[in-house]
Amino acid sequence: MKTIRQVLGAKALSIISITPDALIYDALVILAEKHIGALLVLEGDHLAGIFSERDYAREVVLKGRSSRTSLIKEVMTTNVITVSPKNTVEECMSLMTGKRIRHLPVVEDGKVIGILSIGDMVKETIAEQEAVIKQLESYIQG
């Protein structure tokens, strides 16, 4: 099973983030422009939280807040689950499924080095299963 370091090595690595004092509207613009579902919230190199489409739906829309006047720090998820680059795809998939989360920051030595989506994990799982199937077919054909 691949490690997260291997997955990040093959992925176009770009950490898209916002600060806690930014307007929610600004975060929504970034999410739309980049076609992503979540932004890391950073204070310098420190991970302060994560802001996702779920946060917007639950904390802004349903609570009647305005995205043009409310700040990210008012609605972001602060209890962020993170993983290490040493974790495996299987461990991360299990964690994401069990905790019902779609985005997982990767942290090494206290610094964010990437972020994984559930889509990344599904893609890697499928690729691994296809490789196993090819090996088994090759073995059977012998």
pLDDT tens digit sequence for 59-71: 999 999 999 999 9
Kindly state the tokens that stand for 112: 């964010």
Beta bridge partners of 56: none
- 21 has pLDDT over 80: yes
Q: What is the mean pLDDT of residues 128-141?
A: 86
- Over residues 9-22, mean pLDDT: 87
Record the pTM: 0.86
Listing DSSP states for 82-123 in one string gives -B-TTSBHHHHHHHHHHHT-SEEEEEETTEEEEEEEHHHHHH
pLDDT tens, residue by residue, 71-125 = 999 999 999 999 999 999 999 999 999 999 999 999 999 999 999 999 999 999 8
Query: CA 61, 65, 67, 68: dihedral to nearest 10 degrees?
Result: 150
* Strand partners for 83: 106
pLDDT of residue 109: 92
pLDDT at 1 (0 to 100): 79
Q: The tokens of 2 are what?
A: 């691949």
**What domains does the chain contain, in order, with CATH numbers?**
4-141 (3.10.580.10)
Predicted local confidence at residue 45, as pLDDT: 83
Query: Out of 10-24, 36-50, 99-113, which region has the weakest mean confidence (pLDDT)?
Result: 10-24
Which has more confidence, 127 or 22?
Answer: 22
